[in-house]
């Protein structure tokens, strides 16, 4: 076999490798960490930042406890709002829960049916006519 044949075989092997990589790329599912609405989130960033700073200014950060009987969130004062449970690894597992505190200013989220692993809690609530936004990572075991 002469050098020209070896060159053609090498180029064909390389081109096949590139084509296989391209096919694999197009067949793979989209990345869960990429937001499709990043532009809208960018426009709303300032409003979210103010709500997060309001939590710090009022010392209103909720206490979060993951127990065997569920996820407990304790607020400083009575609150109503929405809790988003975001799973970074799979967007289809994200949940949105409306909430209102009990007489002890607590919210219980039952965990049966919730996958174990890392979750991001995004809590948006209204308390004493003020809006707040708080985010925290939790590990559900």
Element (H, E) at 24: helix 3-27
Q: 129 near 79, Cβ under 8 Å?
A: no
pLDDT band at 27 (very low <50, low <70, confident <90, very high): confident
Sheet of 130-140, strand order: 95-100, 80-86, 117-127, 130-140
User: Is the pTM value of this prediction over 0.85?
Assistant: no
Output DSSP code: residue 15. Answer: H
Q: What are phi and psi of 3, to 5 degrees?
A: -70, -30
Q: What is the mean pLDDT of residues 122-134?
A: 93
Given this model, what pLDDT does residue 44 score?
A: 85
Chain segment 33-74, per-residue pLDDT in tens: 666 777 888 888 888 999 999 999 999 999 999 988 889 999
- For the chain, domains (ranges, CATH) are 38-140 (2.60.40.10)
Q: What is the mean pLDDT of residues 94-99?
A: 90
Q: Nearest Cα to 119, choosing from 95, 141, 137, 101?
A: 137
What does pLDDT average to over the chain? 89
Q: Which of 7-11, 21-25, 72-76, 87-91 comes out lowest in average pLDDT?
A: 87-91
Q: 80 near 109, Cβ under 8 Å?
A: no
């Amino acid at each position: 076999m002469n050098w020209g044949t070896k060159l053609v075989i090498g180029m064909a092997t390389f081109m096949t490798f590139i084509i296989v990589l391209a096919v694999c790329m197009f067949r793979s599912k989209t990345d869960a960490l990429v937001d499709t609405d990043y532009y809208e989130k960018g426009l709303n960033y300032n409003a979210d930042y103010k709500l997060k700073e309001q939590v710090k200014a009022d010392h209103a950060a909720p206490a979060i406890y993951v127990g065997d009987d569920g996820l407990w969130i304790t607020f400083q004062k009575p609150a109503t709002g929405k809790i988003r449970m975001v799973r970074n690894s799979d967007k289809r597992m994200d949940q949105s829960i409306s909430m209102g505190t009990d007489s002890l200013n607590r919210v219980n989220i039952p965990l049966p049916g919730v996958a174990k692993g890392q979750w991001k809690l995004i809590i948006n609530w209204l308390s004493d006519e003020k809006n707040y936004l708080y985010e925290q990572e939790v590990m559900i075991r």
